[in-house]
A and B are shown apart, each in its own frame.
Chain A
Amino acid sequence: MKKKISAFNICSLILTGALLLNGCGQPATTAADSTGSPGGDSDTARTVIRYARGFTIEYHDHYKLLHILNHMGEKVDTLEYLLLRKDAALPPGYPHAQVIRIPVQTMVVMSSMHVALADFAGVADRITGLGSFQYIYSPIVRSNIKAGKLTQVGLDGNLNNELLITMHPGILMASSNPDAGSGKYKTLTDAGIPVVMNAEWLETTPLGRAEWVKLLAALTDREALVDKKFDSVEQAYNSLAQLGAGAKQKPRVIIGMPYKGTWFTPAGESYMSRFLLDAGAVYKWSATRGIGSLSLNFETVAPEALQSDYWLNVGYVDTKKEITAQDERYGSFKPYKTGQLYNYNARVNDIGSNDYWESGGVNPDVVLADMIRILHPELLPDHRLVYYKQLQ
Chain B
Amino acid sequence: MTNSPSGPLRLTGLLLLLLLVFLLDIAIGSVRIPLKEVLQVIFSAHTDNDTWTYIITQIRIPKAFTAVMAGCGLSVSGLQMQTLFRNPLAEPSMLGITAGASLGVAAIMLAGGNIATLYTIKELGLSGSWMITGAACLGAALIMMLVLSVSGTVKNNVMMLIIGIMIGTITLSIISIWQYFSEPELIKDYLLWTFGSLGGTSGMQLVILGLAIITGLVISFFSCKMLDALLLGENYARSMGVTAKRARFIIICSTSLLAGSITAFCGPIGFVGIAVPHMARLLFSTSNHRILIPGCCLIGTILMLLCDVIAQLPGSNTVLPINIITALVGAPAVIWIILRKNNLRAY
Q: Do chains A and B touch in the complex (CB under 8 A)?
A: yes
Contact between chains at B199 and A306 (CB < 8 Å): no
Most buried by A among B29, B115, B129, B189: B115
Q: Which residues of B contact A157 (CB under 8 A)?
A: 180-181
In this complex, how many residues of chain B approach chain A with their Cβ under 8 Å: the count is 43
Stretch at the interface among B53-61, B137-145, B210-218: B53-61
- Which residue from chain A places its CB closest to the CB of B312 in the assembled complex? A297
Q: Which residues of A contact B122 (CB under 8 A)?
A: 318, 322
Q: Which residues of A contact B312 (CB under 8 A)?
A: 297
The answer, yes or no, to whether A326 is at the interface (CB within 8 Å) is yes
A242-262 residues at the B interface, CB under 8 angstroms? 259-262
Interface size class of A (residues with CB under 8 A): 35 or more
Contact between chains at B318 and A354 (CB < 8 Å): no
Number of A-B contacts (CB under 8 A): 110
Q: Which residues of B contact A178 (CB under 8 A)?
A: none
The answer, yes or no, to whether A190 is at the interface (CB within 8 Å) is no
Q: How does the 8 Å CB contact mask read for B142-184 relative to A, with 1 for contact and 0 for none? A: 0000000000000000000000000000000000000011111
**Nearest CB of B to A13, in Å:** 45
The answer, yes or no, to whether B96 is at the interface (CB within 8 Å) is no
Q: Determine the distance from Cα of A321 to Cα of B128 in the docked complex, in whole angstroms.
A: 9
Contact between chains at B127 and A262 (CB < 8 Å): no
Contact between chains at A329 and B181 (CB < 8 Å): no
The answer, yes or no, to whether B286 is at the interface (CB within 8 Å) is no
**Nearest CB of A to B84, in Å:** 31
**Nearest CB of B to A369, in Å:** 25
The answer, yes or no, to whether B327 is at the interface (CB within 8 Å) is no
**Nearest CB of A to B63, in Å:** 8
The answer, yes or no, to whether A37 is at the interface (CB within 8 Å) is no
A150-183 residues at the B interface, CB under 8 angstroms? 155-158
Q: Determine the distance from Cα of A131 to Cα of B204 in the docked complex, in whole angstroms.
A: 41
Q: Which residues of B contact A318 (CB under 8 A)?
A: 119, 122
Contact between chains at A261 and B200 (CB < 8 Å): yes
A319-369 residues at the B interface, CB under 8 angstroms? 321-322, 324-329, 332, 348, 351-354
Stretch at the interface among B190-198, B255-263, B287-295, B299-307: B190-198
**Nearest CB of A to B190, in Å:** 11
Q: Which residues of B contact A135 (CB under 8 A)?
A: 115
The answer, yes or no, to whether B208 is at the interface (CB within 8 Å) is no
Q: Determine the distance from Cα of A351 to Cα of B119 in the docked complex, in whole angstroms.
A: 9
Contact between chains at B128 and A354 (CB < 8 Å): no
Q: Determine the distance from Cα of A317 to Cα of B119 in the docked complex, in whole angstroms.
A: 9
Q: Determine the distance from Cα of A354 to Cα of B181 in the docked complex, in whole angstroms.
A: 21
Contact between chains at A299 and B189 (CB < 8 Å): no
Return 16 A-B CB contacts under 8 Å, by A number. Answer: A155-B182, A259-B200, A260-B193, A261-B63, A261-B199, A261-B319, A262-B319, A294-B317, A297-B318, A297-B319, A299-B30, A306-B51, A317-B127, A322-B122, A322-B128, A327-B129
Seen from chain B, the residues whose Cβ lies within 8 Å of a Cβ on chain A are: 29-31, 50-51, 54-55, 58-60, 63, 114-119, 122, 127-130, 180-184, 189, 192-193, 197-200, 202-204, 267, 312, 316-319
The 9 closest A-B pairs by CB, nearest first: A261-B199, A325-B128, A260-B200, A352-B116, A352-B115, A260-B197, A328-B203, A326-B128, A300-B30
